[in-house]
């Protein structure tokens, strides 16, 4: 028997029916990997992030299969910035992924997670001299972003006497707009070739790889095909000019997840290419590039979002329901853009976690912050919710647990459900002490009087 539901008045709409219907979620989402949402909230509070280890592993293996059955040498490197919770990183490392980091702090996390130095790809435009020294010492793969970094590194290797394994990041026209040309060296205007020449002239630098990262949430596989082709051509040119074999081509990431971008007419999961589509585009480009099979470079991938987004859930509760001045319904949740940074980009799918009737209501979903920007969904059709009801936000694994804000409210618990259904707290909720322990108050300000 369904619980009490408040009455609503729905306008009878005799217009033509559209093919999408009014709502997608016909079923409540009451459990994650067999663990009831209600129990999770009871144990870990609301809001609470939940990660599914099973989903991470399945997604990873699916991606690995897509590439490794098409190309002989494939290596994934887990993009730390997407989600650097140690538990998440370790699942990927256990599955065989290396680490891809963009700052010394992430680098240190990877080292602390036990990733061997030579299995860390060091990206990013801002690497200090100290960062480079550490990376050099650990034999990590340094992906050079600009000439100033190249010059700095060349000074460091000259002093240290060690050989640096480097790659250059290359940007290029792959037919997508806007073109990401702020990172790396441009392919078309020969800046990339100039960088290659400079590195090949350095006795203490080994040009190991070529790297590109053509964009994010890429909906076109054609762009990857073009990028891979261009990098392969560059590898062939280096081979021809210097007789030097490039060990790997790093295509970066940017593969889309099933989330729906704001303004998208169709559901995200209906329009995104599958991992197989990306793999097909990239591998056919490399296999058809004219490089002999025996000399094919390894293919490195830095996919982040597409590997983790589906595995993350945000559990929350309804704080209040109110009506706005224009008559629209507004629901206030106990999570907002402070936790769900990605709600700036996506129309997140939100599902109630308990039984409901067939009636729905258009509404705005707000977060709990006293800030006007705190809008989770500008317009969503949800069943009738009451204060205290639980909801589940889907596909929140990527970027939220790294870009979340400590603003107005603290960060909540993050739990992981292992493959056997066991629940583990992987990051405890922050408290006032978390905040205070970093602070130092001068003596004369210790007391109010």
Partner 1 sequence: MQSQSLISWWQGIRNSYAQLFFSLSPWVGWGSIMASFASPWLGLWGLASVLATNALATLAGQDRQAIKEGMFGFNALLLGLALAYRYHPNPTLAVVWLSAMVLLVLLTVWMSKRLALSGLPALTLPFVGSMWVVVLASERLPGLEPAHHFAAGRFEYSLFGLGMPSILDESEHFGLPLFWSSYFKVLSATFFQPKVATGILLFIALLIHSRIQVLLTLLGFSMAFLSFRYLGADTDSLVYQLAGPNFFFLAIAVGGFYLIPSTASCLTVVALTPVLALIHLALMPVLHRFGLAPYTLSFNLLTILLLFLLKQRSVWHPWLELTGIQYYSPEKALYKHQAGIRWRRESRYARFRLPIWGAWKISQGYDGQHTHLKEWGKALDFVVCDEQGRHFCGQGNQPEDFYGYGKPVVAPLEGYIHRIDNHVYDNEEIGDVDTDRNWGNCVVINHNNGLYSLLAHLKKDSIQVVVGQWVEKGTLIGSCGNSGRSPEPHLHFQIQTTPEVGAKTHAYPMAYFMEYKDGKEQLRCFEVPQEDCLVANIEPDGVLAAALRFKPGMRLKWTCSDTAALAAVVEWRCATDAYNQTYLECMDTGDLMWFSHDGVMFHAFDYEGKRSSLLYRFYLAAYRIFMAEQQGVTIHELIPPIDYGNRFILAIHDLFAPFFSFYPINYRSSFGSLSGAESQDPDIRVIESAVDSNFLNLRGAASNSRFIIGPTGINEWSMSGSDGFVASYNCRILG
Please report, as ranges, the residues that interact with partner 1 according to CB under 8 A: 58, 61-62, 64-65, 67-74, 116-118, 137-140, 165, 274, 276, 280, 283, 287, 293-294
| Choice between 294 and 448, CB closer to partner 1 | 294
| Choice between 70 and 329, CB closer to partner 1 | 70
CB of 407 to partner 1, least distance (A): 39
| Choice between 54 and 429, CB closer to partner 1 | 54
CB of 150 to partner 1, least distance (A): 21
| Choice between 160 and 233, CB closer to partner 1 | 160
CB of 292 to partner 1, least distance (A): 8
CB of 201 to partner 1, least distance (A): 22
Sequence-ordered list of residues with C-beta below 8 angstroms from that of 323, at least 6 positions apart, any chain: 329, 330
d(CA 76, CA 92) in angstroms, rounded, equals 9
CB of 193 to partner 1, least distance (A): 26
CB of 75 to partner 1, least distance (A): 10
| Choice between 165 and 230, CB closer to partner 1 | 165
| Choice between 72 and 422, CB closer to partner 1 | 72
């Amino acid at each position: 028997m369904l619980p009490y539901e408040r009455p609503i008045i729905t306008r009878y709409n005799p217009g033509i029916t559209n093919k999408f219907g009014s709502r997608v979620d016909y079923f409540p989402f009451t459990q994650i990997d067999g663990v009831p949402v209600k129990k999770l909230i009871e144990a870990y509070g609301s809001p609470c992030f939940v990660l599914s280890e099973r989903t991470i592993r399945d997604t990873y293996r699916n991606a690995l299969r897509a590439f490794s059955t098409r190309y002989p040498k494939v290596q994934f490197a887990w993009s730390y910035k997407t989600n650097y919770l140690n538990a998440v990183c370790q699942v990927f490392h256990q599955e065989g992924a290396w680490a891809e980091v963009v700052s010394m702090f992430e680098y240190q996390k990877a080292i602390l997670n036990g990733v061997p130095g030579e299995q860390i790809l060091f990206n990013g435009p801002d690497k200090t001299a100290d960062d480079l020294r550490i990376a050099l010492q650990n034999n990590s793969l340094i992906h050079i972003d600009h000439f100033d970094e190249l010059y700095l590194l060349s000074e460091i290797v000259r002093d240290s006497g060690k050989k640096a394994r480097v790659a250059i990041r290359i940007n290029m026209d792959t037919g997508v707009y806007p073109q990401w040309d702020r990172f790396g060296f441009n392919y078309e205007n020969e800046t990339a070739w100039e960088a290659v020449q400079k590195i090949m002239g350095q006795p203490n630098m080994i040009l190991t790889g070529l790297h590109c990262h053509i964009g994010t949430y890429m909906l076109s596989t054609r762009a990857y095909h073009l990028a891979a082709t261009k990098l392969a051509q560059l590898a062939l040119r280096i081979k021809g000019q210097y007789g030097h074999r490039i060990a790997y081509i790093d295509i970066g990431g940017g593969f889309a997840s099933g989330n729906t971008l704001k303004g998208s007419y169709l559901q995200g999961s209906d329009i995104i290419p599958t991992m197989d589509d990306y793999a097909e585009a990239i591998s056919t480009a490399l296999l058809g590039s004219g490089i002999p099979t025996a000399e094919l470079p390894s293919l490195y991938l830095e996919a982040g979002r597409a590997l983790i987004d589906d595995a993350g859930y945000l559990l929350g509760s309804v704080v209040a329901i109110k009506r706005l001045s224009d008559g629209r319904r507004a629901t206030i949740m106990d999570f907002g853009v402070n936790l769900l940074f990605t709600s700036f980009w996506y129309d997140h799918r939100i599902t109630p976690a308990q039984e409901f009737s067939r009636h729905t209501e258009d509404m705005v979903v707000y977060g709990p912050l006293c800030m006007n920007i705190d809008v989770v969904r500008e317009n969503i059709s949800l069943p009738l919710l009451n204060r205290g009801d639980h909801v589940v936000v889907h596909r929140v694994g990527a970027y939220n647990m790294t870009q979340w804000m400590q603003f107005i409210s603290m960060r909540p618990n993050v739990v992981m459900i292992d493959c056997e259904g066991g629940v583990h707290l992987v990051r405890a909720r922050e408290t006032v002490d978390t905040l205070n322990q970093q602070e130092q108050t001068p003596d004369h300000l210790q007391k109010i009087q």
